[in-house]
């Protein structure tokens, strides 16, 4: 079951039997730009199909480590906020040897892996896939396609195309989890510059929640969390109405991530 | 790979190859009694080892359906609160053909399944296990051991013994998730009788959070959620200080479960 390809993209091993069979990982990598959430997507070779970045778990590798590796391979980033959020195990996910036949994916696999039935059989199995979401500073990423894909690009949330398999559902679930997290954990450190205005923070929350928030109410509730340090005003032409700059207090932020924001 | 056993416990198929390889489910079934959380545990045959109820996923079965089936097999309950909370995929979880050797589990497996290397090999693989937690009315359950186990019993949280593999860690994670849920979702409908006093509800929250809560503060915050209906007083010897009985308002409770309790 040896795959012949240039071994420069180490998300795929030369020998698929080194991976756990029937288990995969899908990564929803969120970035933030122009007051909009973005997601990193791959376009598969020889097709119009877009997909989430993903991969398999080495038999000698922790699942979390596999997710970190996949993320690194696509973004060149380490030390990022990465969180397992849900495992997808519907039977419609596979166990169907015909799922690549006659459509384009099979064609693609054959072009990449050759006419190997063994590989196509391996890939055609039903996979239980664990989803991880990551929050990254989009500016720092250097997106790289993987072996199966032609392009690796940031897409704004409202321009996500129809993806392969259940990948759109996986994004919906990731967004739902991100919104729950937002109400339970401070989120923003990974997505904003070190110093930001209260309005920057509110815009990020609005982009995630996909709804407008009332300004003074938002400010009151965020300040009550006691995780921000206030700095100098942001000078823009010297107006005395210039907004203050804030940064997250690292210790308090970390403490709050540990215990969460509860209603009790 | 046919297993010879009385086929009266349908959590296990006669042919393990009907299951997805390398994927399992572990269930943390919470009940509540005497103001304490309890967890349903199994004691394996011929050993002193305790374990969480669990099982495998049929190749033609949704993963959620498999969790429901396992839960039903152990408790005889359907229509219960069941939630996937985390997937456990550390490499230390297996892929070690010696893990049953020379200890008691291998002995147990051989006594049940016979000397079949194929079965022991199948079970010795590294399993990625998805955890589900369930909240059930302990009084309504009729716990039944599975094929591998001698006993199936409710254990209060503070009397959980050392379990096999990483099952104690799985419980810790389930409790962490239950506490997060408690701050985000109304929890109690599955664990309390239809009518309860404010004190009953507070005791439940305290049992889950494992800390005392301040009475008037708790009452104020719970009432603010607007999910309770107030009924007659609970008469106990006719004292005028008798506490009111409450029930969850089904519509408002369901609505709140949908959107959660946020800090925004």
Residue B244 confidence (pLDDT): 94
Q: Percent of chain A, pLDDT > 70?
A: 84
Residue A12 confidence (pLDDT): 56
Give pLDDT tens digits for B20-44: 989 999 999 999 999 999 999 999 8
Residue B77 confidence (pLDDT): 85
Residue B38 confidence (pLDDT): 96
Specify the pTM: 0.86
Q: Evaluate if residue A89 carries a pLDDT over 70.
A: yes
Nearest residue in B to A260, CA atom? B180
Q: Percent of chain A, pLDDT > 90?
A: 49
Q: What is the mean pLDDT of residues A214-234?
A: 93
Residue A6 confidence (pLDDT): 38
* A87, A225, A262 ranked by CB distance to B183: nearest: A262
* A61, A62, A128 ranked by CB distance to B63: nearest: A128
- Which range has the worst mean pLDDT, A79-88, A116-125, B5-14, B145-154? B5-14
Q: Percent of chain B, pLDDT > 70?
A: 84
Whether B225 contacts B219, CB under 8 Å: no
CA dist., res. B164 & res. B106, Å (int): 13
Residue A139 confidence (pLDDT): 87
Q: Evaluate if residue A9 carries a pLDDT over 70.
A: no
Give pLDDT tens digits for A172-219: 999 998 988 887 777 888 899 899 999 999 999 999 988 999 999 999
Nearest residue in A to B83, CA atom? A86
More confident call, B117 vs A27: A27
Are B260 and A183 within 8 A, CB to CB?
Answer: yes
3-state secondary structure B71-139: HHHHHCCCCCEEEEEEEECCHHHCCCCCCCCCCHHHHHHHHHHCCCHHHHHHHHCCCEEEEEEEECCHH
């Amino acid at each position: 079951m040896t795959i012949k390809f240039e071994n420069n993209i180490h998300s795929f091993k030369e020998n698929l039997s080194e991976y756990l069979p029937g288990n995969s990982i899908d990564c929803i990598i969120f970035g933030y730009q122009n007051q909009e959430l973005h997601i990193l997507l791959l376009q598969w070779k020889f097709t119009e199909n877009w997909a989430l970045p993903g991969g398999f778990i080495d038999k000698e590798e922790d699942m979390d480590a596999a997710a970190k590796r996949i993320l690194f391979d696509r973004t060149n980033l380490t030390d990022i906020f990465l969180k397992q959020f849900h495992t997808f195990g519907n039977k419609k996910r596979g166990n169907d040897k015909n799922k690549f036949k006659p459509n384009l994916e099979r064609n693609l696999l054959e072009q990449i892996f050759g006419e190997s039935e063994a590989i196509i059989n391996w890939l055609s199995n039903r996979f239980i896939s664990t989803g991880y979401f990551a929050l990254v500073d989009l500016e720092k990423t250097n997106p790289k396609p993987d072996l199966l894909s032609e392009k690796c690009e940031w897409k704004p949330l409202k321009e996500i195309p129809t993806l392969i398999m259940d990948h759109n559902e996986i994004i919906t679930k990731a967004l739902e989890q991100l919104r729950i997290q937002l109400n339970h954990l401070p989120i923003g450190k990974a997505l904003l510059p070190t110093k930001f205005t209260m309005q920057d923070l509110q815009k990020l929350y609005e982009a995630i929640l996909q709804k407008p928030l009332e300004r003074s109410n938002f400010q009151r509730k965020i300040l009550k969390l006691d995780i921000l340090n206030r700095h100098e005003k942001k000078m823009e032409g010297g107006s005395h109405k210039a907004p203050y700059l804030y940064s997250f207090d690292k210790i308090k932020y970390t403490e709050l991530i540990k215990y969460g924001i509860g209603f009790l």
